[in-house]
Structure 1
């Protein structure tokens, strides 16, 4: 299957799932600023890994992920109606840690710049 088609399907899944999370899912565990950052679809369209980003502590992330896994059947059914694919991929939700990692790196770089870039100052 063409890579271009798979990437288009991944982008459509990303757009539709983000819209469903924002507007349609009413689970109280799914609150706050939730972003769908990336969707990876296997070549045979059997599995779609959906990476989400959520601001908050670890407990809030776990409960949000549980809420999304609980709503997985509804989301998959709605995707089948909207995308008109022969087979709708199985959805797997994962946390995307890249935003927190980037913030950590930015903080370290800011500290290095504040000290004047001299890492060996105490040697």
Structure 2
């Protein structure tokens, strides 16, 4: 069960990371949408799992590789933004969130538009 402190840190990290990715996408001048769908911080607030959703789909692998390479830079930028609100900036671990793809697949199957429709 998450404590109130964890919930607040989750919300803070999600908001700040979303802003960081929005600015980076704008600077790259590409039509890529990177959304921070969820952040789960550990009970000791030392590690944060960050779930990203990337659209269009064809850029997912490239974006995730780039994010993995730039993790320390992203953490430093985040640290500058939230330094007064937390004692230490958690280690960031990024994951690709594909839940929307799964929802889309299920909807197609239920509508009978998939290869294996559910009747």
Q: Give me the TM-score of the superposition, normalised by structure 1.
A: 0.79
* Cα distance in 2 for residues equivalent to 1:102 and 1:89: 31
* Cα distance in 1 for residues equivalent to 2:26 and 2:71: 13
* Cα distance in 1 for residues equivalent to 2:112 and 2:38: 30
Q: What RMSD, in angstroms, separates the aligned Cα atoms of the two structures?
A: 2.5
1:60 CA drift (Å): 2.0
Contact 1:31–1:64 (8 Å) recurs in 2: no
1:26 CA drift (Å): 7.6
User: Which one has a bigger Cα radius of gyration?
Assistant: 1
Aligned to 1:65: 64
Q: Which runs of 5+ in 1 are unaligned?
A: 113-117
* Cα distance in 2 for residues equivalent to 1:56 and 1:38: 19
* Cα distance in 1 for residues equivalent to 2:32 and 2:26: 12
